[in-house]
Amino acid sequence: MKELRLMKGNEAMAEAAIRCGADGYFGYPITPQSEVLEYLMAEQPWKRTGMVVLQAESEVASINMLYGGASTGKKVLTSSSSPGISLMQEGISYLAGAELPCVVINVVRGGPGLGDIQPSQSDYFQATKGGGHGDYHLYVIAPSSVQESSDFVKKAFEVAFKYRIPAMVLSDGAIGQMMEKVELFEQMPRRTDEEVIAECGSWATTGKTPDREHNVITSLDLIPERLEEHNHKLQAKYKEIEENEVIYEEILCDDADYVIVAYGTSARISQKTVQLAREKGYKLGLMRPITLWPFPKAKIAEYGETKKGILVVEMSEGQMVEDVRLNINGKIPVEFYGRSGGMIPTPDEVLTAFEKHFM
């Protein structure tokens, strides 16, 4: 049954977590994402589905609770905003190293440092290039609406469990705080303990039975040859993800001479710019990477052959633009327009930048 609600992005992610049958949430308050924990505590999912919700003493504790929780084979998530996510990086690296599925939500705010609490996209590097120490990637999916905030929590869990990797939902303060109409997906049952054991008992800490060796979850291996082999295994997995899990959206790109590449809130704003540009007769389209890792490399590379120029729009000083340039490889001009520190570009500003560079 179709269930429509007016919700903030943060609330939609919390509700989605309950509905996709998550077993546990562990988090710590930080603006602009505190509504996630607030919503869960008000909603009392332990009564609805048996889901555990716990306010931790810090982001460090949250991510380590996630590490413990994910090791049991259960579905666990946390959420935070930029400075809190920085604190979690060590734990995220452990989760990646130990090949544990989980979901981390980052509702990005202005930085660096304590920065401010306004929307930003300046955590792109951190999210897509690993973030913590070691050779690893997260699956990173970026919603641009409240609807997608809900849908992508579910999607992130699916991919996390399919490949046994940590997944990140990269939102921002605007989408987190904004209210829109959401069509909620139906409640999925939480797996029973028996189902968890059946699905994850081969690797998770489910309790050693006499018929199997003990399961150990660790990211430590003091033997370099073995650790290198483990890294190769991770890389093979990442390659598979790059081949199978890229998602992007194109709007009015078919006949376009020029394309704006933008994700999340910037993509929403740029879509309006495209509308304004079309009214002026410019053949402009929008390409929105939905998965930021894996990045839609092939599609971007194709623009090098088919388009005249690209404008990358971000709420940062220019991060994703590096990946776009890498894949365009000098074939056509790639220009950048960004606002940072919590400033949100307006559709007119973006149009002016486009005209300055290309018209």
Partner 1 sequence: MTEEIIIAGFGGQGVLSMGKILAYSGIMQDQEVSWMPAYGPEMRGGTANVTVIISDDRINSPVLNSYDTAIILNQQSMDKFEKTVKPGGLLLYDPNGISKHPSRKDINIYQIEGAAEAARLKSGKTFNMVVLGAFLKLKPIVEFDNVIKGLKKSLPERYHHLIPMNETAIKSGMKIVKEIQKL
Partner 2 sequence: MEIIKSENLVYKKTSAMTDKELSYCPGCGHGTAHRITMEVLEEMGAIQDTIGVAPVGCSVLAYEFMNIDMQEAAHGRAPALATAIKRLWPSKYVFTYQGDGDLAAIGTAETIHACNRGENIVIIFINNGIYGMTGGQMAPTTLPNMKSSTSPYGRDEAMMGHPLKITELIANLPGVHFVTRQAVHKPGHVRKAKKAIKKAFEQSYAKKGLCFVEIVSNCNSGWKMTPNDANQWMEDNMFPYYPLGDIKVDGQLVK
Residues near partner 2 (CB under 8 A): 23-24, 26, 52, 54, 56-58, 60-62, 64-69, 71-72, 74, 76, 90-91, 94, 193, 204-210, 214-220
> What distance lies between CA 223 and its chain's CA centroid?
33
In the region spanning residues 188 to 247, those forming contacts with partner 1, defined by CB under 8 A, are none
Of 117 and 334, which CB lies nearer to partner 1 in the complex structure?
Answer: 117
Q: How many residues comprise the chain? A: 359
My answer on whether omega of the bond before 45 falls inside 30° of 0, hence cis, is: no
**Binding partner selected for residue 17 from partner 1, partner 2, none, CB under the kind-specific 5 to 8 Å limit:** none
285 touches partner 1 (CB under 8 A): no
**Binding partner selected for residue 118 from partner 2, partner 1, none, CB under the kind-specific 5 to 8 Å limit:** partner 1
Instruction: Report in angstroms how near the CB of residue 279 gets to partner 1 at its nearest.
Output: 13
Assigned token pair, 287: 């390409």
- DSSP annotation string for 58-126: SHHHHHHHHHHHHHTT--EEEEE-HHHHHHHHHHHHHHHHTT--EEEEEEEBS-STT--SSB--TTHHH
Alpha-carbon distance of 326 to 221, in angstroms, equals 34
Instruction: Report in angstroms how near the CB of residue 239 gets to partner 1 at its nearest.
Output: 35
Site string for partner 1, 21-60 (x = CB under 8 A): ----------xx----------------------------
Alpha-carbon distance of 197 to 74, in angstroms, equals 9
**Binding partner selected for residue 200 from partner 2, partner 1, none, CB under the kind-specific 5 to 8 Å limit:** none
Of 72 and 177, which CB lies nearer to partner 2 in the complex structure?
Answer: 72
275 touches partner 1 (CB under 8 A): yes
* CB contact at 8 A, 354 and 284: yes
Instruction: Report in angstroms how near the CB of residue 258 gets to partner 1 at its nearest.
Output: 17
- CA-based Rg of the chain, rounded to a whole angstrom? 21
* CB contact at 8 A, 309 and 285: no
Of 273 and 340, which CB lies nearer to partner 1 in the complex structure?
Answer: 273
**Binding partner selected for residue 173 from partner 1, partner 2, none, CB under the kind-specific 5 to 8 Å limit:** partner 1
Choose, by CB under 8 A, the member of 46, 50, 58, 179 that binds partner 1.
179
* CB contact at 8 A, 283 and 256: yes
| Strand spans (E) along 219-295 | 248-251, 258-261, 284-289, 291-293
CA distances from 145 to 150, 173, 175, 267 (A): 9, 12, 6, 10
**Binding partner selected for residue 61 from partner 2, partner 1, none, CB under the kind-specific 5 to 8 Å limit:** partner 2
Residues that bind partner 1 (CB under 8 A): 4, 6, 31-32, 116-118, 173-174, 177-181, 265, 268-273, 275, 344, 346-349
